[in-house]
Amino acid sequence: MNESLLRYEQLASELAGMIASGVLGQGDRLPSVRRLAKERRLSISTVVQAFRQLEDRGMIEARPQSGFFVQRPKTLHAEPALRSTPEAPMPVDISQRLVRVLQACMKPGVAPLAAALPAPELLPVAALHRLYASVARRHPRLLEGSNHFNADEPALVRQLVRRSLGWGGPLATEEFVITHSCTEALALCLRAVTQPGDTVAVESPAYYLMLQLLESLGLKALEIPTDPRTGMSLEALDLATRNGGVAACLIVSNGSNPLGCVMPDERKRAFAALTAARGVAVIEDDIYGDLYMGSERPWPIKAFDKAGNVMLCASFSKSLSPALRIGFVAAGRYRSAVALQKTINSGGTNPITQLVLAEYLESTAYDRHLRTLRRAYQKQVDAMRQAIGRYFPASTRITQPQCGYVLWVELPEAVDTSRLFERAIADNLAYVPGELFSASGMYRNCLRLNCGNPHTPEIESAVRRLGAILSGY
């Protein structure tokens, strides 16, 4: 590759990043070739070549006598299809590989495309820091307590009950248990309703930490086909639970991770009825519920649960800060079993953090912050989809998430994302290989990308380089 080739590609990628991030909007005029060449100390032909490449990708168009203008991308991406899954439950064995992948992705300088984490600048961390100082000052005896049994702060539970009005509630105060995180809430629920060796139905593809929890508790995973638009297949769940033998079902009905799908209300209602009738305890994870893309917050399955059979788990890791380490479960009729597990496994939850969160939720700041955050996530997801369309192999399929901010990408069959991971990391690029979302090792031609960061030219360049690796050159 000669030097001018690299330069024009670099310029094209920078401009593409500015278009993707909205710095250059649809219909905007690009600086003239002459001006860019002068400003960037490039030759005219290098700039022309960069413009030509953007033209070929359908990102800009030349208008006679007027220059180059940003145009709306024409590519419409196909979405992944529903896949069938193995009929038998299986033990899970992903933890070692998962930890290796996640650790590699934390190496300094690696593009933040793997873990589903938001960019710190999108979060109200300064306001939360101020609240920590203020709460600690106003409540100087909070750290004197040693109560393992009833450490939930009533002020926080009150705020959660108030917010539950927007989840099809209100939920009862007595249902709640405050936890260290959503992950802890899920683990406590699993411990409360299963024994080692039991089978748990999961979405396929499933969030890898859920699979890891099953592995650590000696539970088997029964993968249920999941539609990238409408969520877990009820028909498949019906068949799988007909003869008993499924103790629980783990589900993310709003913004499934990695598919981003939202189960329609009618299916949620049917799901609640079916699982209650079959004696399958439901552990619902609603961590992405507040991060919807549509006009209204989708209700969780819990809103349709008449039997107290749904344990609703969530946290504020995706909307306020993953470092808060605070979550909750509204556990329905399993509440006392879950509370017992909380006492056995970790005692109470940090009282200062509980009060900080209660005060933050009480103000109007959270809803204002959520509005801004939803817009940012939507823009970032759109920009990432466009970038994937530009650089990934031609028949790549991409999800159209309705909640959350991860994308599931299905590549041509021959692409093995686990095998290519080392090459990607060597170039400071990261993703989560698809096979880690399945107990049976499906999805080797898939991967998940995080869109939690603003779509900067650096992210655009990372997607371009990743596209080159996945395309085999």
Ligand X SMILES: Cc1ncc(COP(=O)(O)O)c(C=O)c1O
**Interface contacts to ligand X, rule CB under 6 A:** 116, 181-183, 207, 252, 257, 285, 287, 315, 317, 322, 327
Q: Which is nearer to ligand X, 40 or 229 (CB)?
A: 229
In degrees rounded to 5, what are phi and psi of residue 223? Answer: -80, 125
Contact yes or no for 328/176 (Cβ under 8 A): yes
Best CA proximity match to 251, nearest among 220, 222, 278, 279: 222
- Other CB atoms closer than 10 Å to residue 314's CB: what's the count? 27
Least distance (Å) between residue 291 CB and ligand X:
11
Q: Which is nearer to ligand X, 241 or 317 (CB)?
A: 317
The residues that bridge with 198 in the sheet, in sequence order, are: none
Q: Which is nearer to ligand X, 205 or 322 (CB)?
A: 322
Please state at what angle helix 208-216 crosses helix 95-105, rounded to 10 degrees.
140
Least distance (Å) between residue 470 CB and ligand X:
23
Q: Which is nearer to ligand X, 16 or 92 (CB)?
A: 92
- What span, in angstroms and rounded, lies between the C-alpha atoms of 438 and 198? 18
* Half-sphere exposure in the Cβ direction for 180 (13 Å, CA): 11
Residue found under tokens 């009929």? 87
Q: Which is nearer to ligand X, 183 or 386 (CB)?
A: 183
In degrees rounded to 5, what are phi and psi of residue 87? Answer: -80, -20
- What span, in angstroms and rounded, lies between the C-alpha atoms of 304 and 472? 48
| 146 contacts: CB under 8 Å, gap ≥ 6 | none
Contact yes or no for 40/81 (Cβ under 8 A): no
Least distance (Å) between residue 216 CB and ligand X:
14
Q: Which is nearer to ligand X, 183 or 199 (CB)?
A: 183
The answer to whether the Cα torsion of 129, 130, 136, 142 is positive or negative is negative
Cis peptide before 196 (omega within 30 of 0): no
Least distance (Å) between residue 178 CB and ligand X:
12
Q: Which is nearer to ligand X, 10 or 400 (CB)?
A: 400
Q: Which is nearer to ligand X, 115 or 127 (CB)?
A: 115
Contact yes or no for 178/349 (Cβ under 8 A): yes
Which parts of 217-287 fold into alpha helices (H)?
A: 234-241, 265-278
- What span, in angstroms and rounded, lies between the C-alpha atoms of 309 and 170? 16
Least distance (Å) between residue 437 CB and ligand X:
11
Q: Which is nearer to ligand X, 188 or 466 (CB)?
A: 188
Q: Which two tokens stand for residue 392?
A: 């990934």
Least distance (Å) between residue 249 CB and ligand X:
14
Phi-psi region for residue 331, left (φ > 0), alpha (ψ -120 to 50) or beta? alpha
Q: Which is nearer to ligand X, 315 or 386 (CB)?
A: 315
Least distance (Å) between residue 34 CB and ligand X:
48
- What span, in angstroms and rounded, lies between the C-alpha atoms of 80 and 57? 23
Best CA proximity match to 108, nearest among 411, 430, 356: 430
CA angle 276, 318, 299 (to 5 degrees): 35
Q: Which is nearer to ligand X, 207 or 421 (CB)?
A: 207
Least distance (Å) between residue 450 CB and ligand X:
9
- Sequence length of the chain is 473
Which parts of 41-94 fold into alpha helices (H)?
A: 44-56
Contact yes or no for 443/86 (Cβ under 8 A): no
Least distance (Å) between residue 162 CB and ligand X:
20
Least distance (Å) between residue 281 CB and ligand X:
18
Least distance (Å) between residue 356 CB and ligand X:
16
Q: Which is nearer to ligand X, 49 or 257 (CB)?
A: 257
